[in-house]
Structure 1
C-alpha cells in the first residue's frame, strides 16, 4: 500500500499541537470502536508502547505501536515522532511532524500500513479510509 499523507494547519502553537497529537490514548476518542492502552510505564519517550484495539468483542484487531524516535518541536526546528507498528496483523510505521508556522503550527502525518496476508485488493479502500480517518483524528485532537 502507498503511504498515507495528511497535512494540516493549526492556530495552536507547535508545542501545544505536539502535546495533543502525542497524547496516544486520546486518539481513540476519535476512532470508532477503538480503545488505546499504554503498555509501558510511560507513554512518553522512545520505547513507549501502546495498543489501539479496534473492533467489537472477539472481532477486533490490535495495532501495536512503539515510539522509536521522538524529538519535540523547538526553536531549532520541527518536532518529529516515528512509531513502528509491531502487531501480528498490522505492520508498518507512522510519522508525525509538527512545526511552527507564523503564530500557529503545521502538522504532517505519514503512515504506511501493511496488513498480514495478501490484501492487495483492499489497499485502495484501506488507503482512502485511513486517510479520511487519520485526517479527522488530527483535526479533532487539535480542535480540543
Structure 2
C-alpha cells in the first residue's frame, strides 16, 4: 500500500488593480511558468497580513499597503508530485492591496522570476493559475461571507 502524504499550505496573496490593470508575478511551477497573484506561503508564526506585504515586495519590488481582506479560498484534494501521492490542502488568504512605493523589480532565486501589469481584459488569455480568477471574482463581487469554496 502506498503511503499518502498530508500537506497543509497557508498562503497570502494580493489583488492589486490600478488603471484597469492587475499586478501579477510569474511563478516557476513544476510543470511550467504561470502567472499568479503576488504572494506566497505564510511562515510559521507570521501574520498573513505581514506575509502578503513581504511577498509582494519580494516578488515585485513594490511596497504594498493592504486595503481589506477579500476572502479565503479553500482548496483540498489529491495531488501527485513526482510520483508521490499527496493529500494537499491549500488555504489562500486574499487581500485587496495597493502599491504605495518601490519600483518594479524581479525576484532572483525565488519561486517567481518576473512581474508585471496586465490589462484586466487580457487576463483570460494569460497562462495563469485559477487563484487569479478567484481573486478577481472576490475583488469584483465582494462576497459577503468572504469565502469562495469552489470556483467554476
Question: Structures share a fold, TM > 0.5?
Answer: no
**More strand as a share of residues:** 2
State the TM-score, normalized to the length of structure 2.
0.27
